[in-house]
Structure 1
């Protein structure tokens, strides 16, 4: 019989989270901007959901989709908040295996929901511009609910196998993660076994969600531009395009950091750990912080609804 493999065991009871490498001594100070960013994200997205629910003038497909986007971004923020604050405020780096896998599931699940809602919002803008007279008849409340449920079910079903696939692997090397939260690309670097199944399935999830959503968004805007160019008056073209500005900004804010993270993980293995950490923070924090601000500034109906809700004496 061979020598017992005492140096190999399945997933350790804990993983070690990391803040920003090389800046551990300033982690307490770094917690200040992180706390502010999380406060803006939580308050901003909660306010968007509240104002859409309370203001009957916003009970339209566009704003229902916006509230779905805010809910998914609240999910992303709340999934990362506990461990980020623990690492930066209390330098509490340990996280249990099951807690880590659960956090990974929720982070990626809500991120995929974000992507799906952005596609649904692109569809909403296409219908509004291509067939405005039938807009309310096409995007009924029941269809919006079905689209929202479809986005949520797709995210959950596609993400469920990831923790299962990870649990079968032996983690006998390092148990140090590169971020203050658990991400699948980071976790599959740690096992001392063949991770091709995990990598292939992770790529399948990436292409079948973010990839397809991005393709549908591009197709939607191709049709939107074609429709807008057929409008006779310059004012009409500008008015139609202006209804898409907020959504275009949201798409750019969401997909740019995500593409940056993917590029760094796949092609920047020798890049500085600081770059990996900063890109991951940008990917998970920037969209929840900026999107409520973008929609509040660029969408007059949202801005006026905020005023009616929070400053009713003016009305």
Structure 2
């Protein structure tokens, strides 16, 4: 395979494009508190960043590899609890606690994934759910360490990072924006790498991938660990924002919400789960304010999109735009048939 075109002899053009889009998104998110100074919007976006990383990391398994995990929230909670416990000890800084949380979660995902990725389809899905509920049970019963049902008590300290005071709401928001954008770029590069295209081949035809010499189990395990690590960063952001960690982070409903985000947004486009995250978080925010029938409204919206559009909202819009462009494109002239005259 020939390498892609290079810009300035250093970086592939696709990476430069992704970096340019990331910088543009970074600028837009950082400008939001300036244009709209309401604290509620800033808080809403931090929730969006945390759960967006959960949904995007899960889609690396569901959409990219074809592994439907029902227990992905376990790594979200692992990142939150490890980070919170280390910060409460008062012995480490925020960057060190974050690296330890991500590394510890990656090891946890490696152990669990080594068992799960050998199974197929529904068996894989349910064993991931079983491991999540096992971790949730540990969180609830180990009261002396985790606080049990009450979660981590006492708050999470926010010492300065490189002179930045994270106790300031705007500074905390800016830090979350930077971490979120960096993680999205990292997941994008993985999905567009040869590793990512190998995962697509495994998703579409695992037997053929195995025939071509691909170590299917090792590839699945690699993306399982990476997805768990990315989910843990979302847990770190949420724990830092709410100044705590709670057993609900590891409950099966959190994994269900991540599945709903992918269903609402779509798994075909890379950023589709973020569209679903925005839609679900908006519904959660406004529906709970105006009515107590949250589950009824949310279920109706999901049914409308799944049964009506038969795909995620982002996927539907993308296909609609592609069809519209195809109709507007000038059709190639059909050559007239050549008629040979018969001899008289």
State the TM bucket, normalised to the shorter chain. Answer: 0.3 to 0.5
Q: Given the two structures, how large is their TM-score scaled by the length of structure 1?
A: 0.33
Structure exhibiting the larger radius of gyration computed from Cα positions? 2
